[in-house]
């Protein structure tokens, strides 16, 4: 969809309406509502002759720059005169000479609706850039236009206009967002603020005194008197009370008067409960007496309880305004309009209407006023359908499942809750709206409990035990708590509180388990709740004894549950063992890892503090037994690894008896000790003990960053059996960085240099040190960090920033790249000239270069084969033109214009930037097509290393987002070759299907669709991939839906791809390949074979220790799991 300025869109809308109303009674509707006229007059000072010119308008454009408001702008336009004198005289037709004159403008005809467009966007000729005026610009809610009109003899009311809409622009001159303030003239909207909705119906301050609120009898009487027949379900009485006084029964009265139901039963002389205690009403005598008391003594209370909530009727003459922002509509106050006088979010268009335009009273709050009946019927049907869809959407988006667990169906044993019968019969699924409150959920559970009372329930201690228990439970407190299943059973976590909060606000998730209980005990046993006491299911191994005197030499593995906040020493108490030694294994499988003995001083720590979790194992052993029972049973695993040494190689370039030695070590061995042992065993000079370091050697033989002497092997992340190199020079200190660096982006193996710098050094100083060490000069250099692909990554732009601030670490590789970085917010884009062969590409340079074949370094071109002169699909020629430095906020068209100013571009005759097609350069070939001429470069996400190639066009093109540009080549009959490529534009609005593409190609070449075959060319493989007609070959609907998309695998069709076409009328074979393809595949096989032989020879030579300068293979980045989801980007 094209993006319009709102003023432009307003005029396009008017034009569309006028066109649609031609030939109807409303053909002049726009003119009647918005058309006005301005008269421009020039008065001669000599003969007083008046020359005038009349202009029509649908909206007025007013200045913002250097103007304080709308009134001042209109004064400058329609009151102030422009005087022609001195060197700027006016030629009067009557006087026939240059004379002094005065020019002015007036409003001759005012429309019923007047629109003002504010000129907030200007151009700064000094900075040569656009900007938005954000200064304060006031406009009134009512304006008198009489001073600005030509005729002023009418009544003032004829010139009065009221503001009824403001269009607001948020953003800058290059982009932003519009929303609108609209005045509800007919009061059709529900104008009510959130704070008004949240106020309870009864304010405690409105009551006459606190004593009336403290009397529950008076409150309940008032609530029941408002109900029909004074009758209400008991379940709803508490909710009514909460709604009326703003506080629940439990919080206000329960502590003093007990539960609500029992309070009603105790006052049976006032309240009448039904036989099943489901409803309550006032007794007749008490009802009359209560009503009399309310009227006589508590009139204020009843007035407060029965009052309507504040809303629209409180201020019948107050203007109501709404903010419409996309799909979000909210009320605003009239004073909020003043906030749009200035700033980045400010008024852009103003809409006024004549004050005398008043709608009839019957139109007020009546959206159906004077709407034809047939339209009303259509509108009602559409609203009913919309209501149904909204209800279905709300049910889908806001309903979720809760699993209810009732405490009478559970009992507590072995540290957790377990169902009395089965899990299925002990859990109820409840579908609930997450927008409702916790109080609503509690009320729904009450209703569910009432149904459960009438259902057959499992017997326990008699047929009536469980129903009576549920009834007792229903009468008492009902606490809702979040529960979760753990390996030990069901555990209760936090208790839900705040009946006025919604389930979203208390963060109840879909599928949550809710435990319903009294908050204290289950089955007479007090229940521990909370995450601190979460039960852990542990495997306990303890010695089995036949009696107290004799101990059997075997272990018993038994599961046991302990609270996570219990002391680990409680294991002795649980198994009635007086004393012993506890060993723990934190893995789930016994015997796979070493056991750890818990010191006696740590026995008072909790299981959580010791890091134990579900499935961990505990071994209890007699402290007097020196032999491990695990060893006797063959389960003991030694903690000593099979490999307990490191290999140190002599890389000091000194003669030594040994080239490498093995040094015994553990993970806690300090690197300094290993280095000293290596110096001694290699029998090197003692001076190396002070001036040497150990550097790890990776599998490719590259020396990595030196390891600090004070590190242990564990801290240095060195594995047993690793190879280290003993090198001259000290290791960097904790405040220093060891960095690799190289010159250029194409880093060859073994060319990296090394440097040690302070981590606080700036990027600028680090660059100087590297230039000095590499013997380079000049200031046109910058640094880039090598990325994980071992390619040049993002540049280090902040030259004054310290390396530590940029998160550089020891071992990182920096690249010295020639050329200065562009300023922040600018791109330095290399521009290439791309001219494919074909009938539509015939642009010639001034030197008539028909074949741009260059051998210099500024040209990329694939080799051509003389045996296949028409294989243009494999030939790509790019000529380097130069670099363009441009802002990211500039458009693609501005980039093309700036590229046309390069000196190398003067060789080509291009009429305008519209005759250029832009591509990104990927792998020395055109990659992504940049199609929107007016789109900002920032939106293309080009990046700092993007290169652009420009392709000449014979005529302007306007490719839409659904268009795909393909290079098509017709196969020559009887030859293994193709004709020159021709551009084909394919509209994919109806899908990326093979059938759609085949029909487009057939229409383009005027061939029957069943008499062509097409294939996509894969230049990197020298292969053709046929594109079959899936409609004929695949009958399964699901498989067709999945595969019939050329954007997906295996085709991945995109702009610039080559499509080969075969005419089956003259050639009927399955071969799409050419002679060039055969030669290309042979070269690939030879290259792969040569590479394999070189790798084998390299592995043979790598038996010796490689030096730091003889790295045998290109270093590879560390392996990492990577998942990339790529869409269709253009």
pLDDT tens digits for range 447-502: 887 776 554 444 444 433 444 444 444 445 688 999 999 999 999 999 998 888 98
**Helix axis angle, 216-225 relative to 284-297, nearest 10°?**
100
What pLDDT score was predicted for residue 587? 63
Helix (H) or strand (E) holding 315: none
Q: How confident is the model at residue 111 (pLDDT cuts 50, 70, 90)?
A: very high
Percent of the chain with pLDDT over 70: 79
Among 477, 436, 471, CA closest to 457: 471
Interval 207-215 mean pLDDT: 56
**Alpha carbon distance, N-terminus to C-terminus of the chain:** 15
The residues near 623 (Cβ < 8 Å, ≥ 6 apart) are 579, 580, 581
Interval 599-622 mean pLDDT: 86
Chain centroid offset of residue 260 CA: 49
Chain centroid offset of residue 99 CA: 68
**Is the model's pLDDT at 1017 over the cut of 90?**
yes
Sequence-ordered alpha helix ranges (H) in 104-215: 194-198, 210-214
Looking up tokens 């008076």 gives 218
What pLDDT score was predicted for residue 196? 43
What pLDDT score was predicted for residue 625? 52
pLDDT tens digits for range 353-382: 999 888 888 888 888 888 889 999 999 999
DSSP class of 978 = B
What pLDDT score was predicted for residue 318? 62
Pairwise CA distance, residues 329 & 345, whole Å? 18
Pairwise CA distance, residues 1012 & 1033, whole Å? 16
DSSP class of 956 = -
pLDDT tens digits for range 757-810: 999 999 999 999 999 888 888 888 888 888 777 777 788 888 889 998 888 888
Q: How confident is the model at residue 289 (pLDDT cuts 50, 70, 90)?
A: low
At 628 the three-state DSSP class reads coil
Percent of the chain with pLDDT over 90: 26
CA angle (635, 641, 645) in 5-degree steps: 165
Among 680, 677, 679, CA closest to 663: 677
| C-beta separation of 736 from 709 below 8 A | no
Pairwise CA distance, residues 796 & 21, whole Å? 62
**Is the model's pLDDT at 1093 over the cut of 70?**
yes
What pLDDT score was predicted for residue 540? 87
pLDDT tens digits for range 418-446: 998 877 778 888 899 888 899 899 888 88
Both tokens assigned to 550: 């004799």
Buried b / exposed e across 1095-1109, counting CB within 10 Å, b at 16+? eeeeeeeeeeebebe
Strands 50-57 and 60-63, how do they pair? unpaired
Pairwise CA distance, residues 803 & 783, whole Å? 12
DSSP class of 126 = T
pLDDT tens digits for range 919-952: 999 888 898 999 888 889 988 888 777 899 999 9
| C-beta separation of 1014 from 997 below 8 A | yes
Among 993, 976, 999, 1124, CA closest to 1051: 993
Model confidence, pTM: 0.39
C-alpha distances out from residue 884 to 28, 136, 825, 834, 894, Å: 53, 39, 14, 16, 11
Edge-to-edge strand list for the sheet holding 753-758:
753-758, 736-743, 813-818, 781-786, 792-795
Among 946, 1127, 924, 1130, CA closest to 1019: 924
**Is the model's pLDDT at 10 over the cut of 80?**
yes
Q: Radius of gyration over alpha carbons of the chain, in Å? A: 43
Q: Which of 5-14, 210-219, 743-752, 1043-1052 has the lowest mean pLDDT?
A: 210-219
């Amino acid at each position: 969809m094209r993006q319009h300025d709102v003023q432009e869109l307003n005029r396009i809308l008017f034009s569309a309406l006028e066109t649609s109303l031609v030939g109807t009674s409303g053909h002049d509707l726009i003119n009647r509502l918005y058309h006005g006229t301005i008269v421009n007059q020039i008065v001669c000072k000599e003969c007083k002759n008046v020359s005038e010119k009349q202009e029509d308008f649908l909206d007025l454009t007013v200045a913002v720059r250097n103007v304080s408001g709308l009134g001042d702008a209109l004064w400058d336009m329609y009151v102030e005169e422009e005087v022609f004198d001195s060197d700027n005289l006016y030629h009067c037709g009557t006087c026939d000479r240059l004379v002094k004159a005065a020019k002015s403008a007036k409003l001759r005809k005012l429309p019923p609706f007047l629109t003002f467009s504010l000129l907030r966007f200007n151009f700064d000729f000094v900075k040569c850039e656009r900007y938005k005026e954000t200064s304060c610009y006031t406009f009134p809610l009512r304006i008198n236009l009489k001073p600005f009109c030509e005729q002023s003899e009418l009544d003032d009311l004829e010139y009065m206009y009221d503001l009824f809409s403001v269009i607001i622009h948020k953003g800058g001159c290059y982009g932003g967002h519009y929303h609108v303030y609209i005045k509800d003239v007919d009061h059709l909207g529900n104008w009510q603020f959130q704070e008004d909705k949240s106020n309870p119906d009864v304010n405690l301050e409105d009551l006459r005194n606190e004593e009336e609120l403290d009397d529950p009898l008076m409150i309940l009487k008032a609530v029941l008197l408002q109900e029909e027949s004074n009758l209400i379900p008991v379940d709803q009485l508490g909710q009514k009370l909460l709604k009326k006084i703003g506080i629940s029964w439990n919080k206000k009265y329960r502590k003093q008067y007990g539960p609500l139901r029992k309070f009603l039963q105790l006052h049976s002389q006032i309240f009448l409960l039904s036989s099943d205690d489901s409803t309550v009403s006032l007794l007749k005598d008490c009802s009359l007496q209560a009503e009399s008391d309310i009227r006589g003594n508590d009139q204020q209370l009843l007035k407060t309880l029965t009052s309507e909530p504040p809303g629209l009727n409180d201020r019948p003459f107050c203007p109501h305004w709404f903010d419409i922002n996309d799909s979000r509509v909210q009320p605003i106050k009239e004073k909020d309009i003043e906030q749009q006088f200035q700033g980045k979010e400010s008024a852009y268009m103003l809409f006024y209407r004549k004050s005398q335009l008043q709608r009839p009273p019957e139109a007020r709050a009546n959206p159906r006023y004077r709407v034809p009946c047939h339209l009303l019927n259509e509108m009602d049907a559409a609203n009913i359908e919309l209501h149904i869809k909204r209800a279905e959407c709300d049910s889908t988006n806001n309903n979720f499942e809760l699993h209810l667990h009732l405490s009478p169906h559970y009992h507590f044993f072995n540290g957790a809750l377990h169902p009395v019968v089965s899990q299925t019969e002990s859990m109820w699924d409840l579908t609930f709206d997450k927008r409702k409150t916790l109080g609503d959920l509690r009320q729904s559970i009450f209703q569910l409990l009432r149904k459960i009372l009438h259902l057959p329930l499992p017997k326990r201690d008699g047929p009536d035990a469980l129903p009576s228990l549920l009834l007792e439970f229903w009468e008492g407190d009902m606490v809702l708590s979040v529960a979760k299943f753990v390996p030990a059973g069901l555990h209760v976590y936090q208790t839900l509180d705040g009946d006025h909060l919604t389930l979203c606000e208390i963060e109840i998730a879909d599928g949550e388990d809710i435990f319903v209980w009294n908050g204290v005990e289950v089955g007479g046993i007090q229940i521990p709740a909370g995450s601190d006491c979460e039960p852990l299911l542990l495997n306990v191994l303890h010695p089995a004894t036949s009696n107290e005197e004799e101990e059997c030499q075997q272990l018993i593995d038994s599961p046991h549950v302990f609270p996570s906040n219990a002391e680990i020493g409680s294991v002795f108490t649980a198994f009635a063992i007086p004393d012993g030694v506890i060993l723990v294994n934190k893995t789930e499988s016994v015997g796979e890892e070493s056991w750890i003995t818990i010191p006696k001083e740590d026995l008072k720590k909790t299981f959580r503090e010791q890091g134990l979790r579900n499935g961990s194992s505990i071994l209890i052993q007699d402290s007097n037994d020196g032999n491990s029972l695990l060893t006797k049973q063959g389960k003991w695993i030694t903690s000593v690894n099979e490999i307990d040494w490191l290999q140190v190689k002599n890389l000091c370039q000194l003669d030594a008896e040994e080239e490498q030695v093995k040094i015994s070590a553990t993970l806690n061995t300090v690197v300094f000790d290993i280095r000293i042992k290596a110096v001694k065993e290699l029998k090197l000079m003692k001076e190396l003990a002070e001036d040497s370091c150990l550097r790890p050697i990776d599998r490719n033989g590259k020396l990595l960053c030196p390891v600090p002497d004070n590190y242990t092997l564990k801290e240095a992340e060195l594995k047993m059996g690793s190879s280290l190199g003993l090198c001259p020079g000290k290791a960097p200190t904790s405040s220093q960085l060891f960095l690799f660096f190289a010159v250029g982006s194409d880093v060859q193996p073994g060319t990296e240099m090394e440097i040690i710098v302070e981590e606080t050094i700036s990027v600028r100083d680090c660059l100087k040190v590297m230039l000095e060490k590499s013997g380079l000069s000049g200031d046109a250099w910058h640094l880039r960090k090598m990325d994980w692909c071992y390619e040049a990554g993002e540049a280090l732009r902040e030259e004054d920033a310290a390396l530590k601030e940029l998160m550089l670490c020891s071992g990182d590789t920096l690249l010295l790249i020639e050329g200065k970085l562009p300023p922040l917010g600018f791109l330095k884009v290399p521009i290439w000239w791309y001219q494919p062969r074909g009938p539509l590409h015939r642009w010639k340079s001034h030197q008539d270069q028909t074949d741009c074949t260059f051998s210099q370094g500024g040209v990329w071109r694939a080799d051509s084969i003389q045996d296949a002169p028409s294989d243009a699909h494999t030939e790509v020629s790019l000529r380097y033109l130069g670099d363009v430095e441009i802002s990211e906020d500039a458009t693609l068209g501005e980039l093309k214009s700036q590229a046309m100013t390069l000196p190398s571009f003067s060789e080509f005759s291009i009429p305008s930037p519209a005759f250029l097609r832009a591509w990104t350069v990927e792998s020395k070939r055109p990659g992504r097509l940049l199609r929107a001429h007016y789109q900002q470069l920032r939106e293309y996400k080009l990046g700092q290393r993007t290169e652009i190639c420009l392709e000449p066009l014979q005529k302007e093109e306007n490719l839409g987002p659904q268009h795909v540009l393909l290079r098509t080549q017709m196969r020559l009959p009887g030859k293994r070759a193709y004709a020159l490529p021709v551009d084909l534009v394919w509209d994919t609005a109806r899908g990326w299907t093979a059938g759609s593409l085949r029909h487009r190609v057939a229409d383009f070449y005027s061939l029957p669709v069943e008499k062509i075959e097409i294939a996509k060319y894969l230049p990197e493989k020298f292969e053709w991939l046929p594109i079959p007609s899936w409609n004929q070959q695949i009958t399964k609907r699901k498989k067709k839906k999945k595969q019939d998309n050329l954007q997906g695998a295996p085709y991945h069709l995109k702009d610039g791809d080559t499509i080969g076409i075969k005419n089956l009328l003259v050639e009927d074979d399955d071969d799409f390949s050419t002679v060039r393809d055969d030669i290309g595949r042979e070269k690939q096989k030879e290259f792969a074979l040569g590479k394999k032989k070189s790798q084998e020879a390299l592995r043979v030579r790598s038996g010796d220790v490689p030096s730091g300068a003889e790295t045998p293979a290109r270093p590879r980045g560390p392996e990492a799991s990577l998942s990339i989801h790529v869409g269709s980007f253009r």
